[in-house]
């Protein structure tokens, strides 16, 4: 069943290019995004004034990445709530609120209860789900399936990139309906999205050996930190979660700008820190701020592993190691930067002789509250 791979996780990481591609199939036609499952919802989409994403774990991080793009493209405020917090926060729900749930399994109890709560309080509900006919899509007003194929390993990988893909398609569909992006702008984003699968494949081919070497080198680390900014921030959080669940190493993700507000006190000589570096072509200011962050932690002895786009030479004087990702427009960098972090956690888990597919204490889908 593993098709020659050492674990389901290794197989599923290798399937990420197809997970992205298959999620776009039939939904992008010559630069126009039209999701069949959303036909008939134009009137709703035109009047919503707020989107609340409910999800847990990795799915919630996909929601955090999607928030930036949906807000930018469709000009609707998006907030991301952990599904288990949602019902207890007396959330403000009106008929103009769209609640979007994200779940690989479609069976996560906390997310299901959040969706039911939202519906009972008058919101419309949309499910982004990887499992045909699961409970959450059945309980929702509409569903956009991700087409990652069955995910067996407890650690979510291909479902994550498929969830971001589905959110981006949803954001572009919404932007068309709401008239917030013109046709050329939508076409340009679809072109970027359709280029992602080949770029993921390239990362898997060129960076895996180097990432495995790093994982062996860091196998005895007590703590590993991850920094990112903007869409790179949820990627830092996801990199840390993967490492916790797979390698049982204390790991934390931070927004790079928060460093000086506290976390920089953690830096001591030899502390490994992964930094997701945004492209200078997206925002030069943001890029140079992250490079300054690298300098600050390096000056305090951190061992910096930068994930930076090909050709970014500004990181070279300061980073101990550089993992390269192909050039992409800013919103599409997360779909690339997450790949080496997933591979790193998997390699570190196997370097420690742990069960990559079935980490201790965890279940693939959490069907209890
Ligand atoms: O099936 P779901 O997407 O609703 O699952 C949500 C989380 O339980 C899941 O993403 C979890 O965080 C993964 N083990 C992360 O790798």
> What was the ipTM of the complex prediction?
0.98
Tell me, yes or no, if 364 is annotated catalytic. Answer: yes
In percent, the amount of the chain with pLDDT more than 70 equals 100
Q: Looking at ligand 1, which residue's alpha carbon is closest to its atom 10? A: 58
Q: Please report the pLDDT score of residue 368 as a whole number.
A: 85
Q: Please report the pLDDT score of residue 203 as a whole number.
A: 98
d(CA 222, CA 181): 47
pLDDT in tens, 148-177: 999 999 999 999 999 999 999 999 999 999
**CA of residue 318 to ligand 1 center, whole Å:** 35
pLDDT in tens, 101-148: 999 999 999 999 999 999 999 999 999 999 999 999 999 999 999 999
Task: Work out which ligand 1 atom sits closest to the CA atom of 160.
Answer: 10
Number of Cβ atoms within 10 Å of the Cβ of 307: 32
Q: Measured in Å, how far apart are the chain's first and last C-alpha atoms?
A: 31
- Helix, strand, coil percent content, the chain, rounded in steps of 5: 50, 15, 35
> Phi, psi at residue 216, to the nearest 5°?
-65, -40
Q: Could you say which DSSP state residue 31 is in?
A: T
Distances (CA, A) of 332 to 55, 231, 232, 329: 21, 9, 10, 6
For 159, the enclosing helix (H) or strand (E) is helix 158-178
Our mutation pick for probing the ligand 1 site, out of 8, 106, 108, 356, counting the most ligand atoms within 8 A of Cβ, is 108
Q: Looking at ligand 1, which residue's alpha carbon is closest to its atom 16? A: 155
Low-confidence ranges of the chain (pLDDT < 50): none
Q: Which residues line ligand 1 (CB under 6 A)?
A: 56-59, 103-105, 108, 111, 154-156, 245, 365-366
Task: Work out which ligand 1 atom sits closest to the CA atom of 366.
Answer: 8
| Strand ranges inside 191-282, DSSP E | 223-228, 250-255, 272-276
d(CA 271, CA 225): 8
Q: Which two three-digit tokens encode residue 194?
A: 């359709």
Give the HSE-up count for residue 298: Cα atoms under 13 Å, Cβ half-sphere: 18
């Amino acid at each position: 069943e593993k098709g020659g791979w050492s674990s389901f996780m290794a197989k599923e990481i290798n399937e990420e290019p197809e997970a992205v591609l298959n999620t776009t199939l039939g939904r992008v036609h010559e630069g126009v995004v039209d999701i069949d499952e959303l036909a008939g919802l134009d009137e709703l989409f035109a009047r919503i004034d707020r989107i609340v994403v409910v999800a847990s774990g990795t799915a919630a991080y996909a929601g955090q990445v999607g928030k930036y793009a949906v807000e930018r493209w469709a000009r609707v405020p998006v907030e991301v709530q952990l599904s288990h917090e949602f019902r207890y926060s007396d959330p403000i729900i009106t008929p103009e609120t769209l609640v979007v749930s994200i779940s690989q399994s479609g069976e996560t109890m906390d997310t299901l209860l959040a969706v039911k709560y939202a519906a009972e309080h008058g919101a419309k509900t949309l499910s982004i789900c990887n499992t045909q006919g699961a409970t959450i899509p059945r309980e929702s007003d509409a569903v956009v399936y991700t087409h990652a194929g069955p995910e067996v390993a407890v650690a979510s990988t291909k479902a994550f990139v498929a969830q971001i893909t589905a959110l981006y398609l949803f954001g572009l569909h919404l932007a068309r309906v709401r008239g917030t992006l013109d046709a050329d702008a939508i076409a340009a984003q679809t072109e970027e999205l359709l280029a992602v699968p080949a770029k993921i494949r390239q990362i898997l081919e060129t960076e895996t050996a180097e990432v495995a070497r790093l994982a062996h080198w860091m196998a005895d680390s007590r703590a590993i930190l991850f920094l990112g900014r903007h869409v790179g921030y949820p990627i830092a959080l996801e990199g840390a979660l993967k490492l916790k669940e797979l390698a049982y190493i204390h790991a934390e993700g931070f927004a790079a700008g928060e460093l000086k507000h506290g976390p920089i006190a953690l830096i001591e000589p030899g502390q490994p820190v992964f930094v997701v570096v945004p492209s200078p072509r997206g925002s030069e200011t943001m890029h140079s701020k992250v490079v300054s962050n690298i300098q600050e932690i390096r000056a305090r002895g951190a061992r910096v592993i930068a994930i930076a786009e090909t050709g970014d030479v500004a990181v070279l004087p300061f980073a101990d190691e550089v993992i390269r990702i192909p050039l992409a427009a800013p919103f599409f960098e997360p779909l690339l930067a997450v790949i080496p972090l997933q591979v790193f956690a998997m390699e570190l888990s196997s370097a420690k002789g742990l069960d990559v597919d079935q980490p201790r204490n965890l279940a693939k889908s959490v069907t209890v509250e």
